[in-house]
Structures are given as C-alpha cells and as structure tokens.
Chain A
C-alpha cells in the first residue's frame, strides 16, 4: 500500500513538473516574487515579434548590452511577419545621390546620375549597364 502511494506521488510530481520548473505561473495580478527567483526565465528584454521592427529592436537591444529573448509565433520557416511578404521599399530623406549610392552593398549600376527635373523635385535617372551592353529603358513616366 505504501509502495502504491509512492508511485502515485511520483506520477503527480511528473505530471506537474512544469509547475516545479515555473513555480510562479499565476493569473494576471497574482504573480508571486516571494522566493526562488533564481528559477525564473529572466531576460533584460523580451521582444515579441519577428518582423523588421522586431528584429531591428532585437539587434539594437543586443548592441546595447541587453540579454534578449525573441518570441516568434511562427515556426522557423515561417518567420519574418509581414515584412517577409512586403515590398520592402524604403523612404528616407537623404542628401543626394552620393549618400544613396554609398548605401548599396553591391553596385549593379556602373554609373548613376542624379538630375533634377521640373516641379523642383529630384528624380533619379539610372543609366543601367547590364552584362555586355547597356540595357535600355524608355521613359515610362512620360508614356503614361
């Protein structure tokens, strides 16, 4: 009888192992910090999300010395949020073609010219050289 009781107790411990591992599971507003804080999953920053903003946040926090946990809802193959599906065209103010050009890691364009057009707005005219010879482009915006 005593033996059976021990088995029963063991099964209870196994069943509730997760509560031993995380003893402070509670409802909102009922968290206890009274003891055993060394067993908590503690980080400096918990980033919830896995898209562009989340990852920039993650890298920035890590750069600044934080111990970071990233919570991605998706499995690894589905990570990246809507940023993964987005067109990822960025708009940012810049000082001109020199600054823009410096941002490119690889330069598929051998030559880039910046020219201003009417309406005092800057248009960037890309003259594109591809493989053996120049790939021509028509002025699409005029056609419209």
Chain B
C-alpha cells in the first residue's frame, strides 16, 4: 500500500480528482501579505482535494449510460444473503419491501459514527451525546451483519478520531456548516476552561501534531467546553472557518 500509494493518487486523478497542494486549508492566506515571505508545509499530508466525492460520483455517473453501471440511492443494504460461509448477495431495504440483489459483495460501508448506541457501547460514557461532524448514514449495519455471518472483527473498536469543534456546531453533520466548525487555531492564543483556567500547552507543536488529542483534554474539562482567546495580532492567522464562530 505504501509503495503504490502515489500511483493510486495518480489513478484517482485520471478519474477526475483534482489534487492541490495543501496550503489554503488551514492558513488564512488573505491575512498574510508581507512580500517575499513563505509558508512551510509540514512533511506528510502533502496533497489535498476539494470535492473529492463529487468528482468520484461524477466519474461513476458518466458510466451509467454504458450499461454496466447501476446506482441505487436511498438504498441501505440490510443484510447479507448467505448459505453457510458463502455470500450470494445483499438484501436492500426500501420503504415497504426488501429487494435481493446477487453478485460478489464488496462491503465499503461506514462504521458506527452515526449510531449513538454503538458509540456509547464501544467508546464509553458521553459518546452517545457528542456532536458529530460527518454523515448521518453510518449505522454500522453491514459491519454487524458481516460479523454475524462469521467475519472476524479486527481493529481498534475502543477509540476514534475526534477534534476540537465549535461548541455551537450542528449535532449531526451538515455539509454546509460542519466543514467550517474545526477550531484548530489554539496555538495562536490561549485556551481556558469555564473556570478560566488553562489546562494544556497550546503551543506544544503545530496543530497538526496535537489537534487529534486535544479533544480529550477539552472533553475532560467541566462541561466538556473551552474558550479559545486570541489577541488582535493573532486574528490574521485564524483560518477562514473562524469567521463563522460566535465569540
């Protein structure tokens, strides 16, 4: 996977994925206008893409008239059709009927991020109530069905990716709002809890090295809340998403 990684990105490009250098995402370029200055990009995470799934979906849709591509929306897979260890197809759930489809089954469906029962079960206390920044369709149905059919569960079920998000963000993912709710600029200011106390080293490293563990530090504070405080000099460094924040 490592050896053929870049090759895969190039293959995705051939399908219409528009790669770009990761520079506009977290830095506010408008705020930095000194001549001849530059930005260092961190090693790793070199490229990003905007509208990834839009590009891939258009590539898929272009193939539909060819006759070998069929797409069913609003069609959650409900179960595997199996005899013993053999999987024959998928049962699809629609409004008042099941439809059975037959063929080689490739499960590429979501985990349990949208399922509060499973979040509580596997991640622990409080996780049923967290605001969730992704899709609302990841109910883990087919992963559960695969395990029920005899698949071996592997991996780390007791942890997840989480990050500091705006306290006023939506409870479930909203594509027009959620992508602007990241609050990763804490290295440029101080962060205090509701008792006005600082509780971690905001400048330990570039946010890329710390954001995925900072949620835990915030989560452990009273009310699982914190305030990021910046002075005027730092405002120009804040990413665009901060414009949506309510101070």
Q: Are B33 and A81 closer than 8 Å at their CB atoms?
A: no
Q: Are A48 and B60 closer than 8 Å at their CB atoms?
A: no
Partner of B45, one of A91, A112, A139: A91
Q: Give 7 pairs: A residue, B residue, CB < 8 Å, sorted on A.
A: A56-B8, A76-B73, A80-B135, A81-B53, A105-B18, A126-B23, A137-B39
CA–CA, A99 and B83, complex, Å = 48
| A9 lies within 8 A of chain B by Cβ | no
Give the number of chain B interface residues (Cβ < 8 Å): 99
CA–CA, A59 and B82, complex, Å = 26
Q: Are B187 and A144 closer than 8 Å at their CB atoms?
A: yes
Q: What's the minimum C-beta distance from A2 to chain B, rounded to whole angstroms?
A: 32
Q: Are A90 and B37 closer than 8 Å at their CB atoms?
A: no
Q: What's the minimum C-beta distance from A80 to chain B, rounded to whole angstroms?
A: 3
Q: Are B35 and A43 closer than 8 Å at their CB atoms?
A: no
Q: What's the minimum C-beta distance from B134 to chain A, rounded to whole angstroms?
A: 4
Q: What's the minimum C-beta distance from A36 to chain B, rounded to whole angstroms?
A: 13
| B105 lies within 8 A of chain A by Cβ | yes
| A130 lies within 8 A of chain B by Cβ | yes
Partner of A122, one of B25, B43, B54, B82: B43
- Chain A residues near B136 (CB-CB < 8 A): 78
Partner of B38, one of A29, A78, A122, A139: A139
Partner of B53, one of A52, A91, A121: A52
Which residues of B from 55 to 78 have beta carbons under 8 Å from A?
A: 56-57, 59-60, 63, 68-77
Q: Are A48 and B52 closer than 8 Å at their CB atoms?
A: no
